[in-house]
Amino acid sequence: MNKRMHIEVRGCVQGVGFRPTVYRYAVEAGLSGFVLNALSGVIIEVEGPPARVRQFLVRLRQAPPPQARIDALEAREVPVRGDAGLFVISRSERSGDVAAGMPPDLATCGDCRRELFDPADRRYRYAFINCTNCGPRFTIIRSLPYDRLRTSMVGFPMCRACEAEYTDPRDRRFDAQPNACAACGPRLTLRDERGGEVPGDPIAETARLLERGHTVAVKGLGGFHLACRADDSQAVERLRRDKARPHKALAVMFSSVEQVRNHCRTTPEIEAFLERPAHPIVILPRRPNSTLSPLISPDTDDVGVFLPYTPVHLLLLREIGPLVMTSANRTEEPIISDFAELVPDILGRAAHFALDHDRPIVRRCDDSVVMFAAGAPFPIRRSRGYVPTPVKLPVTGAAVLACGAELKNTFCVTRDSDAFLSQHVGDLTEWAACRFYESAVRDLVALLGVRPAVVAHDLHPDYLSTRFARRVRLAPLLGVQHHHAHIAACLAENGRQGPAIGVALDGTGYGPDGTVWGGEFLEASLASYRRAARFEWLRLPGGDAAVKHPVRIALSLLVAAFGSDEGARLAAELLPGLNEKDRAVLLQVLRVSHRSPNTSSAGRLFDAVSALLGLCDTITYEGQAAIRLQTAAERAGVRPAPAPVELATGSEVAVVSFAPLVRRLVRARRTGADIREMAALFHATVAGAVVRTCSMLREQTGLEEVVLSGGVFQNSLLTGWTTEALATAGFRIWRHRQVPPNDAGVCYGQAAVALAEHTLKH
């Protein structure tokens, strides 16, 4: 007797070669039935002898296609139909709820790479080669379910050869939505700054321009890059000047892992990471003998490295490389995705040529960036290659829209226990980023087909994300404290709900007491928190304006540690970046409390110490002073014993003071001690202060789990030392792995808090 099963599969099961695999397994088992893409995932019916149906299910569970992720597989028996040995792939069904899980963009796979460089292959050197295992997805999808008609490939009718592959279930391009070839698909055009086509082979011509030191805008998956030779300091210097980006590190694309190895220190684990389908930028230590221009990352000994992830990159990097590849945008604005947007700010200024193509980018998406600390990877930007794959939450409930923070903004939308984080949006103080933010929110909500029941936002009333939440009023609002969101994010991605000791070392976050928070020890669970300890207040002379001038905060640090007169005298001696007039004005400002708000920010402490050590007076990008401080500490090559800190436990919130350290640093500077060792001492002392405060809280509360979050933990040296010291003290440590510790992770934490609170109320 035959048996028929109806099977529904959820997860990331569309755009990853799922149906052809199902087809192959069914045909090989001699089963009849069908498979189709539905909004809820993939639906399968198989009919045949019970033993073979069972084997089919086992095989599908154990060996799904490599890029697929099965979250749920439900099978139930249905009446037999007797469709006798025929298995078909049916057309997509457009009904039901959207749970199919959109696939992220996938780097060109090994099979396609081989064909790309095989002169006998019909796609030899075709710049848009792809298959069911690789190619664009998120950046070309207009709506779900994922089908060619609903992608930006709709404008490219397939030729007969492509159509034959596309419709043959045994072909590795069966149902590959972006399938194309030189006869029918998108094509490359090299354009000059007036948009005119440059004659000749676009790849060869682009390589020639790069070779001669030009900057060329190159259209990729989620937007344009600006490319130039990475070993040509003149070219890099010109790119920096034209892009008004004097110091911030530039990413470098290498042709192969072997080439990376010649310039950077790697491990087998890191190399495997570089080659994953997401192909993120990975921050690696540069070898001293590397021939890369030192201007690529003047503030650090690290360099952001990635491998070619589209056929265009593969073709180009075979001709010339390594190449600087930096997003084509105006500072902190969204990446440019269309040729027309390049004019007038980029084309004609930073670049005079653009390697363009005619496959429209539906969704902008920047490259992702991953860092390693103490051997473990964590993202500092989670975007291309990861988005829109959801991050699991340990709580579930009605849909939440979480609006995120302000800088490095991302937002997220939840459905059940899945959090769909957006791609990198950028700095919401920029008008263009705000526009992108609003359209991206509407886009993701529409794509997922959810109706948010709660809108979570930061407590900061002036964040544009908060104002957006208030203005659109999609659902009842829930304000979430910034550092509670950071800690909740780290708890949630580790599947924890707390309570735990949350250590949020961060730049700036709105505190409910009206001060600026940022060096916080919270007794926290997802649903609630108590501020248990904080870093001692530091006064920001002139408020937010001081953030751009660490030297001003250093003055404040000196005044706090030595008093106004002695502090002023020391500033004259140690802070030459502050002229006499500015110093006098700032000393006045420091006397007026409302003009010099208090902050417990750890980020500002790093800035101030960096300036105090003469490493950075004024910044040209966020985090610069801290990065220089970290680099100095790394160059010391030692790990000093931590200096003592003062821990005042008298009041409800304990206070950690670094005044003894500041006095020691000042003494050391005056006696001409090694700046690098002082930088290392500072890092060791902050790590020591975290352990000491956590130990005190462990005694108070009995909590033994520590959660580390906040932008300061992008500092891999601090993260490594803190983790080790906490482990030695017997704590169980949770760190970020999937979501950034910086403000790009805040939206996910807001969502976790909102769901936890919601669950408690019901």
Q: In DSSP terms, which residues pair with 369 in a beta bridge?
A: 281, 381
Q: Is 616 in the site for Zn ion (CB under 5 A)?
A: no
Task: List, in order, residues 6 or more apart from 480 with CB less than 8 Å away.
Answer: 402, 456, 457, 458, 459, 488, 749, 750, 753, 754
Q: What are the backbone angles phi and psi of residue 631, rounded to the nearest 5°?
A: -60, -45
Return the one option of Zn ion, Fe ion, none that residue 307 interacts with (CB less than 5 to 8 A, by type). Answer: none
CB of 130 to Zn ion, least distance (A): 6
CA distance 507 to 73: 43
Token code pair at residue 605: 């402490």
Q: Is 373 in the site for Zn ion (CB under 5 A)?
A: no
Q: In DSSP terms, which residues pair with 706 in a beta bridge?
A: 501, 733
The length of the chain is 762
Return the one option of Zn ion, Fe ion, none that residue 131 interacts with (CB less than 5 to 8 A, by type). Answer: Zn ion
From the list 76-84, 151-159, 295-303, 505-513, the region that binds Fe ion by CB under 5 A is: 505-513
Return the one option of Zn ion, Fe ion, none that residue 184 interacts with (CB less than 5 to 8 A, by type). Answer: Zn ion
CB of 209 to Fe ion, least distance (A): 41
Q: Is 520 in the site for Fe ion (CB under 5 A)?
A: no
Q: Which of 131, 230, 351, 546 binds Zn ion (CB under 5 A)?
A: 131
Return the one option of Zn ion, Fe ion, none that residue 743 interacts with (CB less than 5 to 8 A, by type). Answer: Fe ion
Q: Compare residues 12 and 454 and give the one whose CB is closer to Zn ion.
A: 12
CB of 710 to Fe ion, least distance (A): 6
User: What x/- string results for residues 560 through 599 when contact with Fe ion is judged by CB under 5 A?
Assistant: ----------------------------------------
3-state secondary structure of 723: helix
From the list 69-77, 118-126, 176-184, 358-366, the region that binds Zn ion by CB under 5 A is: 176-184
From the list 103-111, 147-155, 194-202, 743-751, the region that binds Fe ion by CB under 5 A is: 743-751
Q: Is 162 in the site for Zn ion (CB under 5 A)?
A: yes
Residues 733-749, buried b or exposed e (16+ Cβ, 10 A)?
bbbbebbbbbbbbbbbb
CA distance 42 to 99: 9
Q: In DSSP terms, which residues pair with 531 in a beta bridge?
A: 522
CB of 113 to Fe ion, least distance (A): 40
CA distance 162 to 498: 53
Rounded to 10 deg, the angle between the 311-319 and 202-211 helix axes is: 50
Q: Compare residues 488 and 586 and give the one whose CB is closer to Fe ion.
A: 488
Q: Which of 682, 743, 745, 750 binds Fe ion (CB under 5 A)?
A: 743
CB of 518 to Fe ion, least distance (A): 7
CB of 280 to Fe ion, least distance (A): 21
Q: Compare residues 134 and 627 and give the one whose CB is closer to Zn ion.
A: 134
Report strand pairing: 369-373 vs 281-285. Answer: parallel
What one-letter code names the amino acid at 12? C
Strands (E), 114-210: 188-192
Q: What are the backbone angles phi and psi of residue 146, rounded to the nearest 5°?
A: -70, 110
Q: Which of 39, 70, 88, 159 binds Zn ion (CB under 5 A)?
A: 159
CB of 602 to Fe ion, least distance (A): 10
Q: Is 183 in the site for Zn ion (CB under 5 A)?
A: yes
Q: Compare residues 158 and 559 and give the one whose CB is closer to Zn ion.
A: 158
C-alpha angle 219-422-428 in degrees, rounded to nearest 5: 85
Q: Compare residues 155 and 294 and give the one whose CB is closer to Zn ion.
A: 155
Return the one option of Zn ion, Fe ion, none that residue 506 interacts with (CB less than 5 to 8 A, by type). Answer: Fe ion
Return the one option of Fe ion, Zn ion, none that residue 733 interacts with (CB less than 5 to 8 A, by type). Answer: none
Q: Which of 38, 134, 456, 712 binds Zn ion (CB under 5 A)?
A: 134
Q: Which of 333, 506, 523, 705 binds Fe ion (CB under 5 A)?
A: 506
Q: Compare residues 250 and 480 and give the one whose CB is closer to Fe ion.
A: 480
CB of 280 to Zn ion, least distance (A): 19
From the list 326-334, 421-429, 501-509, 701-709, the region that binds Fe ion by CB under 5 A is: 501-509
Q: Which of 5, 107, 141, 181 binds Zn ion (CB under 5 A)?
A: 181
Q: Compare residues 333 and 743 and give the one whose CB is closer to Fe ion.
A: 743
Token code pair at residue 125: 């050197």
Nearest CA to 386 among 582, 587, 115, 139? 139
From the list 130-138, 293-301, 347-355, 468-476, the region that binds Zn ion by CB under 5 A is: 130-138
CA distance 404 to 482: 9
What one-letter code names the amino acid at 129? I
Q: Is 516 in the site for Zn ion (CB under 5 A)?
A: no
Q: Is 112 in the site for Zn ion (CB under 5 A)?
A: yes
737 Ramachandran zone, left/alpha/beta (phi>0; psi -120 to 50): alpha
Nearest CA to 238 among 344, 329, 349? 349
Token code pair at residue 715: 């500092």
Token code pair at residue 618: 């004024």
Mind giving me the DSSP string for 167-191?
Answer: H-TTSTTTT-TT---TTTS--EEEE
Per DSSP, 156 falls in state S
CB of 134 to Zn ion, least distance (A): 3
Q: How many residues sit in the footprint of Fe ion (CB under 5 A)?
A: 2
What one-letter code names the amino acid at 761? K
Return the one option of Zn ion, Fe ion, none that residue 753 interacts with (CB less than 5 to 8 A, by type). Answer: none
From the list 70-78, 157-165, 223-231, 582-590, the region that binds Zn ion by CB under 5 A is: 157-165
CB of 123 to Zn ion, least distance (A): 9
CB of 317 to Zn ion, least distance (A): 17
Mind giving me the DSSP string for 500-533?
Answer: EEEEEEEEEEE-TTSSEEEEEEEEE-SS-EEEEE
CB of 166 to Zn ion, least distance (A): 9
Token code pair at residue 571: 């500033």
Task: List, in order, residues 6 or more apart from 253 with CB less than 8 Å away.
Answer: 227, 305, 306, 307, 308, 313, 317, 321, 322, 323, 324, 325
CA distance 399 to 248: 38
Strands (E), 79-187: 87-89
Per DSSP, 158 falls in state P
Q: Compare residues 115 and 743 and give the one whose CB is closer to Fe ion.
A: 743
Q: Which of 5, 100, 109, 678 binds Zn ion (CB under 5 A)?
A: 109
Residues of this chain that interact with Fe ion (CB under 5 A) are 506, 743
Residues of this chain that interact with Zn ion (CB under 5 A) are 109, 112, 131, 133-134, 159, 162, 181, 183-184
